[in-house]
């Protein structure tokens, strides 16, 4: 059972360095960075976080397949994996379709693109020469000059049943979004197929304090729209430190291998420290 912490997309990019250095001294396993349209690039953020820390695994959660040629993505991931062996986890997803259309990157079959991207990226990272003429990806005798000795795990950031099944077929782990109820995780694992060693990463909002639920109401409403549920159904690690810790434990007990908390507010690591004190 791993505990990770997300660097929220609304934090100024220059705060990543002190955030990562401080987190490196806390009892957590991961730092997760994100790539949402208009905010920041995840590969550069991951490179920065890896460079200023010594032990944290840095997760990319997630880079959208439509925005990344798989050969270039494999080159970037291999570079990071060679410089920081054993400390990278690479999440790839469909991307938010409205955003993909906004930048002219929407594809006829997001499922085919994601499957072919993950398959080819993993093969390239293993040092294979890849020829693939698929529905969305076209590579002709491509290989990496410097493949990593320890390829990083590639995870799929997905939520729909067909995409979860895809993740079970081709990825080494699955990332599910903030807000999902713990009692949904067993069904998600069943849809994935739960192959041995497959990592399930569950993101969850974190806010500790007497007014945490009120503070997090806008986030709950926004995530409810994304998940197509009511705000009351959006589960978060909020309230007292003990209540937040209990919510994280519920996600672990329901089948999450890694829970990555997304602390909110101007001093996000204060919420992480309070959470850790409650375990």
pLDDT at 205: 98
Asked whether the whole model's pTM tops 0.75, one would answer yes
The domain spans of the chain are 2-278
Q: What is the pLDDT of residues 70-123, one digit of tens each?
A: 999 999 999 999 999 999 999 999 999 999 999 999 999 999 999 999 999 999
Q: What is the pLDDT of residues 198-209, one digit of tens each?
A: 999 999 999 999
Q: With cut-offs at 50, 70 and 90, classify the pLDDT of residue 265.
A: confident
Percent of the chain with pLDDT over 70: 100
Which of 1.20.120.350, 3.40.50.720, 3.90.600.10, 3.20.20.30 would CATH assign to domain 2-278?
3.20.20.30
Q: What is the 3-state secondary structure (H, E, C) of the chain?
A: CEEEEECCCCCCHHHHHHHHHHHHCCCCCEEEECCCCCCCCHHHHHHHHHHCCCCCEEEEEEEEHHHCCHHHHHHHHHHHHHHCCCCEEEEEECCCHHHHHHCCCCCCCHHHHHHHHHHHHHHHHCCCCEEEECCCCEEEEECCCCCCCCCCCEEEECCCHHHHHHHHHHCCEEEECCECCHHHHHHHHHHHCCCCCCEEEEEEEEEECCCHHHHCHHHHHHHHHHHCCCHHHCECEEECHHHHHHHHHHHHHCCCCEEEEEECCCCHHHHHHHHHHHC
């Amino acid at each position: 059972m791993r505990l990770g912490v997300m660097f929220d997309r609304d934090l100024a990019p220059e705060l990543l360095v002190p955030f990562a250095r401080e987190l490196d001294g806390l009892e957590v396993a991961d730092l997760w960075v994100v790539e949402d349209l208009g905010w920041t690039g995840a590969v550069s953020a991951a490179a920065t976080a890896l460079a200023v820390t010594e032990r944290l695994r840095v997760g990319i959660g997630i880079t959208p397949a439509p925005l990344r040629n798989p050969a270039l993505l494999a080159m970037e991931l291999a570079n990071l994996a060679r410089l920081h062996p054993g400390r990278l986890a690479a999440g790839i997803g469909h991307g938010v379709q409205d955003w993909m259309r906004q930048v002219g990157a929407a594809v006829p079959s997001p499922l085919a693109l994601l499957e072919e991207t993950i398959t080819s990226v993993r093969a390239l990272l293993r040092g294979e020469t890849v020829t693939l003429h698929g529905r969305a990806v076209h590579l002709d005798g491509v290989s990496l000059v410097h493949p990593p000795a320890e390829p990083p795990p590639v995870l799929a950031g997905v939520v729909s049943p067909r995409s979860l099944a895809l993740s079970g077929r081709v990825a080494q782990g699955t990332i599910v979004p903030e807000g999902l109820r713990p009692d949904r995780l067993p069904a998600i694992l069943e849809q994935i197929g739960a192959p041995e060693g497959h990592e399930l990463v569950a993101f969850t909002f974190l806010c500790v304090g007497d007014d945490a639920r009120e503070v997090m109401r806008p986030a709950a409403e926004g995530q409810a729209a994304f998940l197509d549920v009511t705000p009351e159904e959006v589960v978060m690690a909020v309230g007292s430190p003990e209540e937040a810790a209990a919510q994280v434990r519920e996600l672990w007990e329901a089948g999450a291998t890694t829970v990555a908390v997304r602390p909110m507010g101007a001093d996000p690591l204060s919420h992480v420290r309070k959470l850790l004190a409650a375990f």
